Structure 1
């Protein structure tokens, strides 16, 4: 099974041994960050640093001329990835015999929302989420679709993987987060992720919902949750919280917005890319979910993209809905965390990969070769040799 690993440019640039070390693991591909959100990352083997702090979401290459005079536009990286860090890392990886695909984060950008507050999701209480640009808003779409096209089709890239290509919402992995005091559950998170910007308010109206009454219903439904009551699991919990009719209307609007955004983003990448360029989406088969692995209808997304990257660290079951809609050329990549300190299990990688294959996986993605310890990587190398 073809295996690829995730990397940041700063894992490679300045470390002349990095590319060969990754190739020696037995992976054939690297998914290399080209546009990425803010983060703090360890670099346990780099000869010149151990901690990289990426202070804001940025493109890790010089932004092109298409952004001249436009606002918003992508932010260049700071000293964590200066100049064309992506290009330098990609060149080194290709020289080591690795295929390079661009890793592009779209609807997740805290600096964008801080500097342009009208871009962010607005919840039912009027709070804005600066990290989560509303994908229904036309100006946001124009920015994100152009970002997808530019960041994905980098020189030498054989493909791209689009992360956060859909709704982002309440949940946000963030330093100093203090939001775990109330257990929202899946239904509560959905309710707190509903957007009430002007575009979404009009969208709910198209589905028979008055936006003010809908927002009031969301707040009313959440009151027991703030007191400690669990809203119940899954979509049934959302219906109990909002009412079945209102829940269905919000889902219809949001799924339409996600589908059309995914179509536009993939279409823009294809328009810029050479023949044979692969476009995958990081996706969850439960369509109302938000986040890095955005909810996507399996039948629809596989009619648009060449495949999906599916989180499988907790088990491979999420692959099955995509496998049921796969065609002969479809890529179903199981994303497995191989960093023990991040909850992964590199020691069981071979067995986990076989289980993923039994659920339809055609490829592996290993998160994350730059963050893993030497012990983790030794497990990866051993597992991939057994799977070869």
Structure 2
């Protein structure tokens, strides 16, 4: 199977050995970040640094001033962690080593936008704002994300793109000095804590036939047992309209983003979404309706354990990329990649994605190299 790996520009820029090292792993493709959220990242082999701190969500290339002129929401340029056209410099170096470069675009995950424009954020049923999570129900947010998708995806030399967070973000978020694990929140509780009650969403629930105040009260009531250590309850009659509104918003963003990227891209440009097959889920792998998203995009990138629902709706040309963590220190298992990849292929995977070559140790990369050689 064709394999690819994720990389940041700062893994490559300033390290002349990086492109050949990546090509030597046996991957055909590198998914290179062009628009990315804030992070603190290890660079185990870079000759100039070991830690890169990306202080806020930014584009990793110079944004087009004409495209963004007069807009209230616009992308932030990166600081010293990715100065100038870091994406373009890294892409050129990777292509020079024979690797196919695809852009990696993070959309609805932006803490600085939430700080600068608090009205754009998701607001939970208690009135708490999530500044890291732009509300995709807002027309201004959706317009911004579609424009960002086009600019960040269709970079010079890119053969395709992978759109992450192209849908709802929610409660779950890695945050500095996080103290939210005192009460365990499972899948159901995460969903309830992620339902938005900003003005746009309140209007949307009404369009679906649900009184927003009554829905918010139902959410708080369903969560009340959780704070005592008991599982969340049901929303009763509010379950269907709440999910219908969120699915409608997610579909609208995904349809608009994919269409706009395709309109701007050259022929053969491939558009994939990082996706989860359960519509209520949110985060980097956004909740989707598998039939809808596979009729829309060229395919999905999804954790290997979630392949089956997508495989049931795949056409012959559909890309189903099984995403495997290969950084041992982050819970990955490069030593089992051969058997894991074979299992994924039997379940419908057409490609592999390996997260993440820039973060991996030398030992992890050696295991990846051996595994890809064994897989042929």
User: TM-score normalized by structure 1?
Assistant: 0.96
CA distance in 2, matches of 1:254, 1:207: 10
2:234 aligned counterpart, secondary structure: helix
2:252 to 248, 254, 260: 260
RMSD of the alignment, in Å?
Answer: 0.7
Does 2:290 align with 1:298? yes
Map 1:112-123 onto structure 2 (within 5 A). Answer: 112-123=113-124
Does 2:374 align with 1:374? no
| More displaced 10-residue stretch of structure 1: 220-229 or 360-369 | 220-229
CA distance in 2, matches of 1:59, 1:357: 34
Residue aligning to 1:140: 141
| Runs of 5+ unmatched residues, structure 2 | none
| More displaced 10-residue stretch of structure 1: 178-187 or 34-43 | 178-187
2:168 aligned counterpart, secondary structure: coil
| Runs of 5+ unmatched residues, structure 1 | 232-239
CA distance in 1, matches of 2:315, 2:219: 40
1:327 aligned counterpart, secondary structure: coil
CA distance in 2, matches of 1:186, 1:6: 27
Superposed structure 1 runs of 4+ greater than 2 Å apart: none
2:353 aligned counterpart, secondary structure: strand
Aligned residue pairs, count: 375
Map 1:13-162 onto structure 2 (within 5 A). Answer: 13-64=13-64, 65-162=66-163
The alpha-carbon deviation at position 338 of structure 1 amounts to: 0.4
Residue aligning to 1:12: 12
Which whole-Å deviations, capped at 9, do the CAs of 1:2-39 have from their partners, x for residues lacking one?
00000000000000000000000000000000000000
The alpha-carbon deviation at position 328 of structure 1 amounts to: 1.1
The alpha-carbon deviation at position 184 of structure 1 amounts to: 2.1
Does 2:235 align with 1:242? yes
Q: Is the 8 A contact 1:187 1:241 kept in 2?
A: no
The alpha-carbon deviation at position 154 of structure 1 amounts to: 0.1
Map 1:225-374 onto structure 2 (within 5 A). Answer: 225-231=226-232, 240-243=233-236, 245-312=237-304, 316=305, 318-374=306-362
Which whole-Å deviations, capped at 9, do the CAs of 1:247-289 have from their partners, x for residues lacking one?
1110011011111110001111101100000000000001110
Which whole-Å deviations, capped at 9, do the CAs of 1:289-345 have from their partners, x for residues lacking one?
000000011100001100000012xxx3x1011111001110000000000000000
Residue aligning to 1:164: 165
Which whole-Å deviations, capped at 9, do the CAs of 1:30-63 have from their partners, x for residues lacking one?
0000000000000000000000000000000000
CA distance in 2, matches of 1:265, 1:179: 33
